[in-house]
Structure 1
Amino acid sequence: MILPDLTELVAMRGAAHGLSLHTHRPALAMLHGGHRSAQRGRGLDFEEVRRYAPGDDARTIDWRVTARRGQLYTKLFREERERPVWLVADLHSGLFFGSRYQLKSALLLRTASMLAWVAALGGDRLGALITNNQSLPQIFPPRAREAGVLPVLEALVEAQPKMPGAPDEKGLNLALASLRPLLQPGSLVMILSDFSGLNDLTEASLAGIAFHNDCRLLWLTDPLESSGLPTGKYRVGLPGQLWWMNGEQSRTAWQEKWAARETRLDQIARRLNLPLIRLDTQNPVTETLPPLLRESTW
């Protein structure tokens, strides 16, 4: 299988034309876990305060100014022209795996690339956090147009795994913890991961992020993960740590373990009211993402 290079990811700009991240949610029900969350829209910048008038939203009352002046005052905001869009790319060696059209790591890069171009072409500022079996993720602050996209694509190509390895169970949680203090209310956060390190800390971090932001989960999967090995004997494992496995004898336990991860992720998405979008290695990104990102359907 061919690893994506920068030329391929840059060329995906063409496939991003006509798509939008500012679309409606109902079409998410077509995919696995079509959960809905509140549409928060773009963030708002504080502009000034003025005297409270009947009909103003009580939640915007500035209580400090009110206490100082003895009369009700409310905050006025202006809409941001460019919403921050954050990509969280949970890259690790465990994604160097794929039984069909592409590796899971390649699926992540191609998905991230298309989403990045859609954001830039839509006038949003793109930021990113990229993990790579390192102690801390790479952080790219939000920037507009190509200045925001190209450094992220270069880093993704450089960070993609070149050989099989063990999953990094701490990378996603480190990325989410690093992201929280960087977020402005109203940001869009898209998390690309296989969620192999999913735990209680992950759920707590997602809850904190989703409280003031629009958060979406993109789950990277491969058909072999859910079905198990075919009948027969296979050498499995990592380089230097290979063993024989019987496909038929291992299938029940294999499928039970996968079902447990699927159930837990689905439950977390439902509890937090987050969209959960399942992307599979057997389907090209250029075929699966556009139907979701068209103005009239997502």
Structure 2
Amino acid sequence: MQVRTADLIALRGPASGLNLRASRIRSLQGQNYLSPFKGRGMEFDESRPYQPGDDVRSLDWRVTARTGKPHTKLFREERERPVIVAVDYRPAMFFATRGAFKSVIAARCAALIAWRATQQGDRLGGFIFSDREHWEGRPTLRAAATLHFLDQLALRGQLAQTNDSTDSDRDVFRNALARLRRVARPGSLIALISDFRGLDSTAEAHLSQLARHNELVLIFVYDPLETQLPPAGHYRVADAKRDLTLDTAGHAARREYAHQFDARRERIRRLCLRQRMVFLPCATHEDPLRRLQQGLVQRLS
């Protein structure tokens, strides 16, 4: 199954059911965001008494010294917040045993977020990477930017399937995150949609740096077959280059297979907890809109 631009355009209506407003909001005045992240695009708003859970880096030392009680600085973010949607099109994303390819689910999630960002008046930016190339679109308010991003999702989804790079998942993922750090402006909402193959300490460091001044939503796309092997037996597995038979009878192999997936998922979840990112898993047979609605509501609670 391939991604078609027309299908992504059709998600414009359903996208209105999403809420991309900044998480951990202190308060709102008018239509401006207030955000705990500091950096370019942030303006000081006011100070208030320190509350448990506040970032100690935001302490207002002058007010604290004057009053003798700790106070926290609140910052007002620019009205048009940059929203960057990053999509993983490496070869492993073009796989599914149920529902749609992981790449298709990723594209649908990306389109839903892109449409909602545009509807809310945010500046949309796109970032698409594969094992051979990457594409990036700087955040902009132009309406044509959304359609251009959807066109790129469809086009590059087709091109990525023909790639034959020998670069490892780890190297490609590291390099993509390094480029994303150069693109992202502090105060942005960044939605990274991937199966997170190749996640290692270097990749975690890149994500942690991004999370210091941005809001990150990590959307973990996976196929049910990746969670555990099918019932014991012999299964033919093929792609454009290989054709092999998979024996799933061994108990040890089945346990190790399930353990590897659980370990990857748990690593992502723990990283999100440590760095205050949003962890949002989505299987290939699930409705991306419903999963996004559930995950984005939780980040506001």
Q: TM tier, shorter chain?
A: 0.7 to 0.9
Q: Which residue of structure 2 aligns with residue 212 of structure 1?
A: 213
Distance 1:47 1:287, change over 3 A: closer
Among candidates 91, 109, 123, match of residue 121 of structure 2: 123
Among candidates 36, 42, 65, match of residue 40 of structure 1: 36
Q: Per-residue deviation at 1:107?
A: 0.5
> For 1:95-174, what aligned pairs fall within 5 Å after superposition?
95-135=93-133, 137-160=134-157, 161-162=160-161, 168-174=169-175
Give the TM-score taking structure 1 as reference length: 0.77
**Count of aligned pairs:** 264
Q: Which residue of structure 2 aligns with residue 255 of structure 1?
A: 258
- Where structure 1 has 5 or more consecutive residues not aligned to the other structure, the ranges are 26-37, 49-54, 62-76
- Where structure 2 has 5 or more consecutive residues not aligned to the other structure, the ranges are 25-33, 50-58, 64-74
Q: Which residue of structure 2 aligns with residue 222 of structure 1?
A: 223
The amino acid across from 1:263 in the alignment is E
Distance 1:17 1:263, change over 3 A: closer
Q: Per-residue deviation at 1:112?
A: 0.4
Query: For residues 272 and 286 of structure 1, what CA distance do their matches in structure 2 show?
Result: 25
SS of residue paired to 1:169: helix
Distance 1:149 1:102, change over 3 A: same
Distance 1:100 1:163, change over 3 A: farther
Query: For residues 113 and 5 of structure 2, what CA distance do their matches in structure 1 show?
Result: 15
SS of residue paired to 1:289: helix
Query: For residues 199 and 109 of structure 2, what CA distance do their matches in structure 1 show?
Result: 21
Query: For residues 270 and 298 of structure 2, what CA distance do their matches in structure 1 show?
Result: 28
Q: Per-residue deviation at 1:253?
A: 2.4
Query: For residues 45 and 23 of structure 1, what CA distance do their matches in structure 2 show?
Result: 14
Among candidates 66, 90, 93, match of residue 92 of structure 1: 90
Query: For residues 128 and 144 of structure 2, what CA distance do their matches in structure 1 show?
Result: 17
> For 1:226-241, what aligned pairs fall within 5 Å after superposition?
226-236=227-237, 238-241=239-242
Distance 1:164 1:242, change over 3 A: farther
Tell me if the contact between 2:22 and 2:35 (Cα under 8 Å) persists in the aligned partners: no
Distance 1:163 1:227, change over 3 A: farther
SS of residue paired to 1:21: coil
> For 1:252-291, what aligned pairs fall within 5 Å after superposition?
252-291=255-294
The amino acid across from 1:254 in the alignment is Y
Give the TM-score taking structure 2 as reference length: 0.77
Query: For residues 209 and 275 of structure 2, what CA distance do their matches in structure 1 show?
Result: 10
Percent identity of equivalent pairs? 31
Q: Per-residue deviation at 1:180?
A: 1.6
Tell me if the contact between 1:172 and 1:197 (Cα under 8 Å) persists in the aligned partners: yes
Deviations 1:58-105 (A, max 9, x none): 4799xxxxxxxxxxxxxxx87412000111111111111111111101
The amino acid across from 1:139 in the alignment is E
Query: For residues 262 and 296 of structure 1, what CA distance do their matches in structure 2 show?
Result: 19
Query: For residues 195 and 233 of structure 2, what CA distance do their matches in structure 1 show?
Result: 27
The amino acid across from 1:216 in the alignment is V
Q: Per-residue deviation at 1:163?
A: 6.5
Deviations 1:24-69 (A, max 9, x none): 57xxxxxxxxxxxx95379764789xxxxxx9x74799xxxxxxxx
Say which structure, 1 or 2, has more relative contact order (CA 8 Å, 6+ apart). Answer: 1
Q: Per-residue deviation at 1:6?
A: 0.3
Deviations 1:100-139 (A, max 9, x none): 111101100000000100111011101111102224x211
Query: For residues 112 and 8 of structure 1, what CA distance do their matches in structure 2 show?
Result: 12
Q: Which residue of structure 1 aligns with residue 66 of structure 2?
A: none
SS of residue paired to 1:211: helix
Query: For residues 213 and 236 of structure 1, what CA distance do their matches in structure 2 show?
Result: 41
The amino acid across from 1:20 in the alignment is N
Tell me if the contact between 1:24 and 1:295 (Cα under 8 Å) persists in the aligned partners: no
Q: Which residue of structure 2 aligns with residue 183 of structure 1?
A: 184
